[in-house]
Structure 1
Amino acid sequence: YYRSGQFYCSEAIVKTINDAFGLDYPDRVVRMASGFPIGIGGAGCACGAVTGGVMAIGMIFGREKPGDPSVDRCLALARELHMFFSGRHAFLCCRTLTHGMKLKSPEHLAQCVAFTGEVAEETAKIILRETREDESRLW
């Protein structure tokens, strides 16, 4: 979805995970991810691919009710994704990751396509690993 220009990074991750796992979330969940691209609304902060991955993890492992301790697992998995990305790229800041690149230039797009694919893959691996014994979270 990102490579084809249909969605920005965070939206593409949420849409991809929703579609790939056949989740029962309406397409409007992609709307929640629409404010995160280009470092949260274009501010250049947190990488939109990573924030989209965290949102996708939350779709499956997040809580719906106050006091639900499942939030602890969700937080740990979100931190795992963050550490994966920052371990590979040293930074999570979009502005730093794309320093010197013009927005939407071929160089910028190529890098963000790679980041988005990398984060989508790692997010899927985390979900698969964590639902191996309890697939009911997916459906």
Structure 2
Amino acid sequence: MTSPTGSPPAWSLPRIGSCRGCTVIVLAGVLDHTATGDLAAAVIASAPACAPRVVLDLAAVSFCDSSGIAAVIETLRALHARDGRLVLARPRPQTRQLIARLALARFLIVHDTLETAITSLSRPARS
């Protein structure tokens, strides 16, 4: 994967696993403009094709700006197009505050722990 500028992205997916029917993806590094386009493609490639339920673990994300949040929204839309769901787990306070400042808490569901994130995906989706 390369960023729109042709350089390697500043983020990676060092671990992908599953738990109770959910795909748990650890995202690490810097989540900024280098994630545009590639993040959604990487997550979709890692998740089941039909109705994927994905937890994006952000604990190892050292920095996230509005471009990074836009890449997460793009990922959410790509999963919704496949009747899937996405929740975020363990973001740093700066990322959580950015989501709140951008008034995206209604769309980006954030959990303090992996356990609560996984449990939330085992319940029916809220409308």
TM over 0.5: no
In the superposition, the TM-score normalised over structure 1's length comes to 0.29
Structure showing the higher helix proportion among its residues: 1
In the superposition, the TM-score normalised over structure 2's length comes to 0.31
Higher relative contact order (CA 8 A, sep 6+): 1
Pick the structure with greater CA Rg. Answer: 1
